[in-house]
Homo-oligomer: A and B are copies of this chain.
Amino acid sequence: MQCLDKRTEIMTVAMELLAENGFHGVPMSMIAAKANVAVGTIYLYFAGKDELITELFQEVEKEIVATLREGFPTEGPMRERFLYLTGKILRFLVDNPLKFRYIEQFMNSPYGISMRRDRLLGKTVPNGIFMALFEEAIADHVVKDIPIIALFSLTIAPLIFLVRDHILGFVTLDEALIRQTTEACWDAIKR
């Protein structure tokens, strides 16, 4: 076992445990045990629990941005591009429930709160694509004339709630429902 193997293993295991049990429900010793590693070893790769948690988030964030950019049509009808993006993110979250739950944990923890604050003016990386799309849509007058952040809430919030309900088993997000709900989101914001 070499350097990168252990580091990756720790991150994989930590993602699973933290997503399922919450940040406070997972002692470092638990991560160490499941990764077949000594507690001290984790501190060879991460400065502390905080850094481990933060780094895990940044990794997922990068992955989502990459997924969204991949194959995204920069031209064409606004509605199609919108449905492409929302469908893509919905599918990613449904296919990666662990990562979804991790993001939720993070966003609702002090880490996420302060991150949101820090990004008050700077652009949030994963939403950058959405924001750009909305700005274009506003300029073209194809969406309602309300603050861009409201457009964002009307779009993203239902998707997140739906994924949560899907993971909890309250609803099944198949392709048909994904289509219907993303179209409904468009109906909400279209002029």
Contacts and interface: CB of A to CB of B under 8 A. Distances in A.
Given A158-B157, A161-B156, A171 B188 contact: no
Interface of A: 22, 24-25, 104-105, 108-110, 116-117, 120, 144, 146-147, 149-150, 152-154, 156-158, 160-162, 165, 168-171, 177, 180-181, 184-185, 187-190
B189 A184 contact: yes
Contact of A153 (B105, B116, B144, B165): B165
Contacts of A187: 187-188, 190
A179 to B, nearest CB: 10
Contacts of A146: 177, 180-181, 184
B25 A110 contact: yes
A129 to B, nearest CB: 18
Given A153-B158, A157-B157, A184 B177 contact: no
A187 B144 CA distance: 11
Contact of A165 (B25, B109, B149, B177): B149
Contacts of A22: 109-110
A25 to B, nearest CB: 7
Of the listed residues A110, A154, A156, A169, the one surrounded by the most CB atoms of chain B closer than 10 A to its CB is A154
